[in-house]
Amino acid sequence: MMEFSIQQIAALIGGKIEGDGNKIVSSFSKIEEAEKGNLAFLANPKYEEFLYTTNASAVIISEDLTLKQAVDTALIRVKDPYASFAFLMQYYQQIAAEKMVGIQEPVYIDKSAKIGENVFIGAFAFIGENAIIEDGAKIYPQVYIGKNVCIGKKSVINPGAKIYHDCIIGNEVIIHAGTIIGSDGFGFAPQADGSYQKVPQMGNVVIEDNVEIGANTCIDRATMGSTIIRKGTKLDNLLQIAHNVEIGEDSVIAAQTGISGSTKIGKRAMIGGQVGIVGHITIAEGVKVGAKSGINSNVTEKNKSLNGTPAFDHLSSLKSLSIFRKLPALSKKVEELEALLKKLATGKNID
């Protein structure tokens, strides 16, 4: 457990202290659940009531917040409480990680592998032939690192992740538990007799710097060349990214999305959960795709928002959904009008 004074915390985030800056905090908590020794934050106005009852030793708040009553806790005023709190949690985690160095036993490290300084390798990890683990990397227990794999500086490979041969992982990448990098792409050639012949997958996967990949995600190696995840991209849990896909820098993709082979996604894309994207298409930079949507053709307009299956303009899709919900009532009215027309056609009394 690490301890920091409120003065130290304020200095880290450029905050202004109101109250006792000598108090010590050792952990983080939500404002409504905080206890003595906890640091909390207030960013959403709907939680302001907890500021006046919290047991936290310190709370990070906005520099613009006007208090409705006196508080018992110390305050740290900053421009953006949420961003400051996130920075502190990351800083705390980084310090804790830096203390983890050395090689646990048992592990297998091939004699040809190159291990940098201040590296941590957990028990039952496998480091293959000619693999490179650069300075400050953390390889947690039961990780598999294949032949010729390179793990960049300060990258973190969490328990049970598997990185197949020839794949390249950049600096400060985080790969969560159970993720598989470099499994074979889904390549099978149909034969005359109706069977399928496997197409060898000879490429690799390249993960650039500052990428984070959630748990149990699968990123397939390229048939030839590379499947590429560009720098700064954040991928959620349970994604399927097929062979030769390229995802542009600083994109975010939510859980259970599937991207078919050879599709290229531009930088700063935002893709919701359970989206399906067909193969061999291009999606422009800045495109936003709503959850459960299906993309089946090129998206050439930058920063376009899409929704639905097949996906089309977001606002139009919402209008269409509104109309769809009214279809039962509209159908009933149509039936009533048809009955009325039949009566008129036969000359019956319509009273």
Say which residues have a Cβ less than 8 Å from residue 93's Cβ, sequence separation at least 6: none
Structure tokens that stand for 317 in this block: 């899709």
Structure tokens that stand for 85 in this block: 């709190």
Interatomic CA distance for residues 90 and 103, integer angstroms: 24
| Residue 176 annotated as catalytic | no
Among residues 165, 243, 280, 314, the one annotated as catalytic is 243
Burial of 225 (0-12, 13-18, 19+ CB in 10 A): middle
Q: Residue ranges of the alpha helices (H) in the chain?
A: 6-13, 81-98, 314-325, 327-346
Structure tokens that stand for 239 in this block: 């994604």
Angle at 226 between CA 159 and CA 127, to 5 degrees: 35
Structure tokens that stand for 283 in this block: 């999606």
- What values do phi and psi take at 137, rounded to 5? -70, 150
Interatomic CA distance for residues 133 and 302, integer angstroms: 38
Interatomic CA distance for residues 101 and 199, integer angstroms: 41
Secondary structure (3-state) at 114: strand
Secondary structure (3-state) at 10: helix
CA-based end-to-end distance of the chain = 84
Interatomic CA distance for residues 233 and 213, integer angstroms: 8
**Which sequence positions are flagged as catalytic?**
243
